[in-house]
Amino acid sequence: MYVYSVVLKREKTVVEQKKVSIVGASGYSGAELLKILLRHKHVKLEKLFANSSAGKRVTDLYPWFAGRVDTTYESYTADAVSTSDLVFIALPSGEAMNIVPELVERKKNVIDLGGDFRLQDPSLYQKYYKHEHKATSMLPKAVFGLPEWNSEAIKSASLIANPGCYPTSAILPLAPLLKEKIIQPSGISISSLSGVSGAGRSSSVDLSFAEVNESVKAYKVGVHQHIPEITTVLESLSGQTVSLTFVPHLLPITRGIYTSIYAPLAKSVQASDVLAVFQQYYGNKPFVRVSDTAIPEIRNVNYTNFIDIGFRVYPENHQLIIFSAIDNLIKGAAGQAVQNMNLLLGFDESEGLLL
């Protein structure tokens, strides 16, 4: 009997990589972006910009990157991203508008994690963000980056406005119910609670953990900048005029958003009817998890790109109560931004986002 040794030649798979840079890489969202992109097989990190931390090493600010990132933050210039295919902007609102027009003119794909391009009406921006919009010509070019609803527009966009964290937690539960007229478009109340990281790394003293700990408080009641974002997007998706109340609160935790929504029913429904609507819209969406029995918890979504949605029907009160939980830094910021990048550049939507 002869024994044959067979050697199989395997062709190496060449994975095309896109060059990506981050402006505002030293903030919380920028650091989360860096974590995700390091494990993304289609991405090559090119430049990390952080004007206030220019000259410092990434590991000086975030020691957990030791052995993974040997990079120094730089001051931003448009010329420095001349070879980048895509630029993430993770700056406070009011700053992206100063650099986006030149990037778009240079044919760069841009994903803005701030609020500068989420509202199509500049007067609403000025009213809620308290300063004038300086790049109004860019507003018609911006696509609202909600992957579960705008995936086709995202794929052909040059400028993507990443949704806010609070709006993500409210719009995803409400949009299917409004579109299918399960709930009324007026009289909706939204109560959201956020960890203090949502205020950013350079937040004021009153938003620091020491001031928030051992307490819970509402803030920016009636004037929060996410109110028009939630309202206008829901109106666009549902084709109805929407009237709602939104109240944000600070929780003494680092990360996570928990949202409770109280909506008047438009017709008599059972829990199975509501679940069927969610399954219709989100059954094939990789990061939306819906349950008609479990109540969401922040601990089950933290450090992930998932949104968990639960609900309870109260026919006797003609009311539907919906709950959602997300990680404000992932699904509410960096993770959703990478989800948008995946769609835009033709990668698998979940690449880099599932551990």
Q: What is the pLDDT of residues 223-255, one digit of tens each?
A: 999 999 999 999 999 999 999 999 999 999 999
Residues taking part in catalysis: 165
pLDDT for the residue numbered 16: 76
CA dihedral 236, 238, 239, 245 (to 10 degrees): -80
What's the whole-number mean pLDDT along residues 58-66?
A: 94
Please state, as a whole number, how many other Cβ atoms lie within 10 Å of the Cβ of residue 297: 14
What's the whole-number mean pLDDT along residues 66-81?
A: 94
Indicate the domain borders of the chain: 18-163+333-345, 165-328
3-state secondary structure of 83: coil
Query: What is the second-level CATH architecture of the domain 165-328?
Result: 2-Layer Sandwich (3.30)
Q: Is 156 exposed, middle or buried (0-12, 13-18, 19+ CB in 10 A)?
A: exposed
For 18-163+333-345, which CATH superfamily applies? Answer: NAD(P)-binding Rossmann-like Domain (3.40.50.720)
pLDDT for the residue numbered 1: 34
335 with 36: CB under 8 angstroms? Answer: yes
pLDDT for the residue numbered 201: 53
Please state, as a whole number, how many other Cβ atoms lie within 10 Å of the Cβ of residue 62: 17
% residues pLDDT > 90 (the chain): 89
Q: Which residues pair with 203 in a beta bridge?
A: none
**Residue 52 per-residue DSSP state:** G
Residue 160, pLDDT > 80, answer yes
Residue 310, pLDDT > 50, answer yes
Give the chain's mean pLDDT: 93
Q: How confident is residue 287, by pLDDT bands cut at 50, 70 and 90?
A: very high
Residue 12, pLDDT > 50, answer no
Instruction: Give the HSE-up count for residue 71: Cα atoms under 13 Å, Cβ half-sphere.
Output: 21
pLDDT for the residue numbered 207: 61
pLDDT for the residue numbered 7: 40
Q: Which two tokens stand for residue 353?
A: 């986002």
242 with 234: CB under 8 angstroms? Answer: yes
Report the alpha-carbon distance of residue 96 to residue 117 in Å, rounded: 9
Q: How confident is residue 212, by pLDDT bands cut at 50, 70 and 90?
A: confident
